[in-house]
Amino acid sequence: MNRKLLWGINGLILFTLIMSMTFSYRQLNPTQELMMSCSSELFDPSDEGESKSRHYLLVDLFAKGELAQFNYRYFNHDGSSAGNIRMKGSVVGVDNSAQRYSFSVKTKEESGLDGDEVPEHMSYLSYVSSFNLDKKGMHNLSVEMLDLNEQNDYAVVLFQPSNTVCGCRLVQ
């Protein structure tokens, strides 16, 4: 009897441990949302500082419950549009200890890729997301808060796999 009780207690401890690990990496609950408006200045290091290759990137992110939407807007140095990439998908998980959000993109719309001067970042993001969508039917990406100041509604964020660091305004 003691042996069965011991196995039962060990099983209960193992189950509790597995469940606690599962819930530490969870999705946003339906009432929780993440909204950010991010910006970054993009440079092509191969152009040795010439202003013709300088672009600006604005990324709007909205996630609520399981739904997520990204809007990447690219601009030339003079402020004219250089293109857009809009992605929709779902929240795969949230790791609160690492302040990392994981997403799975299912659909993508692009415009402006046939222009004369397409930003390298846009070309790369278009390529890698198209490759993953065509091959796997989804494109995974993550957003990690490198620095967060909730009092001033500001964060420094790393977008992967594009390896882009942006300054973001947290929208509440």
Average pLDDT over residues 3-21: 53
> Is the pLDDT reported for residue 26 higher than 70?
no
pTM above 0.75, yes or no: yes
Round the average pLDDT of the chain to a whole number and report it: 81
Question: In terms of pLDDT, which residue wins out, 63 or 15?
Answer: 63
**The pLDDT value given to residue 140:** 92
Helix (H/G/I), strand (E/B), else coil: 133: helix
Average pLDDT over residues 109-125: 83
> Is the pLDDT reported for residue 121 higher than 60?
yes
**The pLDDT value given to residue 96:** 84
Phi-psi region of 96 (alpha: psi -120 to 50; beta: other; left: phi over 0): alpha
Report yes or no: 167 and 41 within 8 Å, Cβ to Cβ. no
